[in-house]
Amino acid sequence: MPEPTGTGGEASTDAAFTALLEDSADDLYESAPCGYLSTMMDGTIAKINNTLLDWLGLDREAVAGRKRFADLLSIGGKLYHETHFAPLLRMQGELRGIALDMRRQEGGPLPVLVSAVIKHGSEGEPLLIRITVFDASDRRSYEKELLRRREEAERARAEAERAHAEADEARRQAEADRARLADALAVLQRSLVPDSLPAVPGLESAVHYHTAAPDQLGGDFYDLFPVAGDRWAFFLGDVCGKGPEAASLTSLTRYTLRAAAHHDPDPASALSTLNAVLHERYTGDGNPRYCTCIFGIVEPGGEHGPTTVRLASGGHPPALVLRSDGRAEFLPTPGGLLIGVVPGAPIGTAETVLAPGDTVVLYTDGLTEARTGPGRDDLYGEDALHAFAADHAPASPHEVITALTGLLESFGDGLDDDTALLALGVPATPSLIDPATNHTS
């Protein structure tokens, strides 16, 4: 490039360069072409620049000290933040280029790329989190356009190939599908769930399993079996995916939990063993598989002692207890992460005592995520389930499973996922305990 000539050019260049040198750090931070924010270790936003506030249409007074970083994210972004982003950031100390969606006051979600780093003090203690946010709208549009064009090209090629052998391919595919489905249903279905629950002295039990697609293997599972002493182990969960792969994962999960419980009946230990097995088995091939699961140990007290229940959960909805005095309450197990996602995943635990007439209910998310409303746009949710349980408490395991089965039927086509229900309870009248009491549907 030729150097500027004449005093006018030199003066203009000097003025521009001087203006750059006089930029204040505050102005550079507030008017940066990307978003900046700093949060406390619990996610509370302490500082945020004007760029990000303008992108989201928010006021500083409504954000600083009042919202957490997760509050700025979409629903999917919050879930990813809680299950992946935050745990990985705590383990690694920094993350770079994570794709998330943020919520704008107007105009729909804002696709962004997020980088974060933890600032530590002189003693190595974590002090705060610094986060950089880049607008990825143009990149997302470019990726969608590339994807659309690639799909069009693939469709054109597939249609040309299909025109030459459509009839033969359809016949062979139909035959293969029928054979594969028949084999899978015949061999794998028997390993997914027990045919019936065993009789537990001093307890009543009931179970219900709804398969969303009768011609497809489901991914929900449950079991009840004796362990050391007079203790009984039980579990209920939901694996990712559908079909034969999900069935294979379900079978591995069920038998791993049984073996782990006989080795060490502590609920958290059993789920930790399952997490290690799934992570080692599936992560290495680039196709990670995971599940949610709640595992418990119940010690029936009989006529002379309390019945204790200890629970551990890996990313599963909380158990629900219907008390004999008419109350209904959740047993929260906070902090539990999906089983199989990361090594050493945290496990949430809870413990309760069942009095005569109390019933504990486990369920999969097919129940709470059933779609309701005229347009099937709303989820049933845990609040509605709590209200439903409170209306039916107290109730025996058979009574509460019967009521919940009727609730599932009322959802109609809004129930589009497999749903498993398992209830254990102490009979209201101990003298009438029937050790063979068991209801399975």
Question: Per-residue confidence at 181, pLDDT binned at 50, 70, 90?
Answer: low
**How are beta strands 204-210 and 438-440 bridged, if at all?**
parallel
Residue range 427-438: mean pLDDT, rounded: 55
Q: Over the stretch 116-155, which tens digit does the pLDDT of each residue have?
A: 999 999 888 999 999 999 998 888 788 788 888 888 888 8
| Shared domain check, 188 and 213 | no
Question: Per-residue confidence at 59, pLDDT binned at 50, 70, 90?
Answer: very high
Which positions ≥6 away from 339 have C-beta within 8 Å?
Answer: 237, 253, 271, 274, 275, 278, 290, 291, 292, 293, 314, 315, 345
The pLDDT assigned to 318 comes to: 96
| Shared domain check, 187 and 225 | no
> Does the N-terminal peptide bond of residue 394 adopt cis geometry, omega within 30 degrees of 0?
yes
| Shared domain check, 123 and 45 | yes
Residue 141 lies in a domain: no
Packing angle of the helix pair 381-392, 397-410 (nearest 10 deg)? 130
| Shared domain check, 220 and 182 | no
* 62 vs 164, higher pLDDT: 62
pLDDT surpasses 80 at 412: yes
| Shared domain check, 200 and 187 | no
Residue range 278-291: mean pLDDT, rounded: 84
Which positions ≥6 away from 285 have C-beta within 8 Å?
Answer: none
The pLDDT assigned to 436 comes to: 38
Residue 142 lies in a domain: no
Which phi and psi angles does 47 have, rounded to 5°?
-150, 140
- Write down the mean pLDDT value for the chain: 87
The pLDDT assigned to 9 comes to: 61
Residue 430 lies in a domain: yes
| Shared domain check, 211 and 296 | yes
| Shared domain check, 184 and 115 | no
| Shared domain check, 397 and 253 | yes
Domain hosting 307: range is: 194-440
Q: How many domains does the chain have?
A: 3
pTM given for the model? 0.58
> Position of tokens 């072409």?
33
**What is residue 143's three-state secondary structure?**
helix
| Dist CA 131 CA 153 (whole Å) | 39
Question: Per-residue confidence at 433, pLDDT binned at 50, 70, 90?
Answer: very low
| Shared domain check, 354 and 255 | yes
CATH number of the domain that residue 37 is part of: 3.30.450.20
The pLDDT assigned to 434 comes to: 43
Out of 90, 112, 135, pick the residue that ends a domain: 135
| Shared domain check, 225 and 170 | no
Tokens of 17: 């360069």
**What is residue 134's three-state secondary structure?**
strand
pLDDT surpasses 80 at 62: yes
| Dist CA 333 CA 344 (whole Å) | 17
Q: Is the dihedral of CA 35, 39, 43, 48 positive or negative?
A: negative
The pLDDT assigned to 431 comes to: 47
